[in-house]
Structure 1
Amino acid sequence: MHPQPLEFGMTAECGLTDNISWWDSDAEATIVLSQPDTDRELWNEFLRGAVESYRRHGVERAIDVAAVRDGADTAMFWATLDSTGRVIGGLRAKGPLLSADDSHATVEWAGQPGLAAVRKMIDDRVPFGVLEMKTAWTTDDRDKARVISTALARTPFHAMTLMDIQFCMATSAPHILERWRTSGAVVAPIAATPYPDERYRTKMMWYDRRTFANHAASDQIPKILREMKTVSAQAGAHVAARAASQ
């Protein structure tokens, strides 16, 4: 038996004047959702951590910090903070995409047989709203990284709630995809691409907020729904406070 597609009615203004945060007891960390212009210092800390993490793994060519530093194409980002306030992981949402040309996936599949399928999957979904999750990283502490990755796998639903869109997509190596699939991501039937180099077989995955419960792990679903309510409530409070001050 499969659960019915879920309907979401909350639409919040995405222009955050303050960040949204909550404690994640599994990761034993605070998750902060914000935007580059709202939290410039936190944004810079997130990028610094991403660059260091990618460099340690020898894939620094996969992140062009100069191109993303101003945050112009970043709808929102997430930073995971330990008990000392140090950023130990995070990711960002790029978009909304207007066409496949806006997606970094077209760069990753350039010259590969799957490029046409990648473009079609994106373009077919653009009318319903598409964000691209990018620049994901975590601490190198293996045990800590596992629980942080599981928490970050729920972040697409925060973005889809705030922006009232249906889809999020991401690309990653298979061992990362397995972690993200716990929250309902579906791996696209497109041949992998050797990106950022021949050591990797990068695949594309999709989140659909209407049908994710058909694919997510049972323990992730209540956490997703709880966090969506938290995000909606805090965003709504920000909007109300802003309106009252005008």
Structure 2
Amino acid sequence: MAAIDPFGDVVAGMRVQGPYTHVDEVNALAAWAGRAGESALRKRVADRIPEGVVEVKAVWADRGLDRGQRRALGAALDRCVVHVTSLLRARYGFVTAGEHAAEGYRTSGARSDWWIPAVPFPDDRYRTVPLWWDMRTYRSIAAEPQLTLIEAEQLALAAGDTELPADLTGAGGLA
């Protein structure tokens, strides 16, 4: 997924992998290798693979944008996890994120595996946690403003639109 500004420049995006067929395909597990919570997280992933697991990686937004634009793009990318998981016909979306970013994901319906300890990844400045979206339950978790936008965006995608209008994303279309 990529956010493109009115000039055609990519200003934010995310990379998605999956649906996976085996637990060892999940890149994020490397952060827990040899650490507390590794076996619990591997089991969570393995238990969910039969119903489809999509992993979101490398979520970013241009640091040159003003704070409001970055916030709007961040919220749009949080919602995009729901969209890519649905488009790839998986039941579960999965991301690992620093605790500072986890709340944004929760507003779009993610739940954390609170019993799996955070790890210092990519370095000791961060406490990284696993987060999951379940396509059957995320609506009951998502914040109302995000859910309203998710539903409008899903209607646009179902209609065949490959670009979401700026009034839905808050900053440029998502292509």
Q: Same fold (TM over 0.5)?
A: yes
Matches within 5 A, 1:131-142: 131-140=54-63, 141=65, 142=67
| SS class of match (2:59) | strand
Count how many residue pairs are aligned between Structure 1 and Structure 2: 159
Aligned equivalent of 1:155: 80
Q: Which amino acid aligns with 2:34?
A: G
| Regions of 4+ moved over 3 Å | none
Q: CA deviation at 1:168?
A: 0.5
| Structure 1: segments with no counterpart, 5+ residues | 1-77, 236-246
| SS class of match (1:219) | helix
Structure-2 separation of matches of 1:102 and 1:231 = 28
Q: Assess if the C-alpha contact under 8 Å between 1:160 and 1:166 holds in 2.
A: yes
Structure-2 separation of matches of 1:160 and 1:147 = 21
Q: CA deviation at 1:233?
A: 2.0
Structure-1 separation of matches of 2:52 and 2:155 = 20
Query: With structure 2 as the length reference, what TM-score do the two structures score?
Result: 0.86
Q: Which amino acid aligns with 1:185?
A: A
Aligned equivalent of 1:18: none
Query: With structure 1 as the length reference, what TM-score do the two structures score?
Result: 0.62
Aligned equivalent of 1:228: 154
Q: In the TM superposition, what whole-angstrom CA distance separates every residue of 1:111-165 from its partner, at most 9, and x where no partner exists?
A: 1111101100100100111100001000213222111000011112222322222
Q: Assess if the C-alpha contact under 8 Å between 1:188 and 1:205 holds in 2.
A: yes
Q: Assess if the C-alpha contact under 8 Å between 1:93 and 1:134 holds in 2.
A: yes
Matches within 5 A, 1:19-34: none
| SS class of match (1:116) | helix
Aligned equivalent of 1:40: none
Q: In the TM superposition, what whole-angstrom CA distance separates every residue of 1:31-77 from its partner, at most 9, and x where no partner exists?
A: xxxxxxxxxxxxxxxxxxxxxxxxxxxxxxxxxxxxxxxxxxxxxxx
Q: In the TM superposition, what whole-angstrom CA distance separates every residue of 1:75-134 from its partner, at most 9, and x where no partner exists?
A: xxx111112111111001111111221111211111111110110010010011110000
| SS class of match (1:153) | helix
Structure-1 separation of matches of 2:16 and 2:77 = 12
| SS class of match (2:159) | helix
Q: Assess if the C-alpha contact under 8 Å between 1:88 and 1:138 holds in 2.
A: yes
Q: CA deviation at 1:187?
A: 1.0
Q: Assess if the C-alpha contact under 8 Å between 1:191 and 1:203 holds in 2.
A: yes
Structure-2 separation of matches of 1:105 and 1:163 = 19
| Structure 2: segments with no counterpart, 5+ residues | 162-175
Matched, 1:183 2:102: no
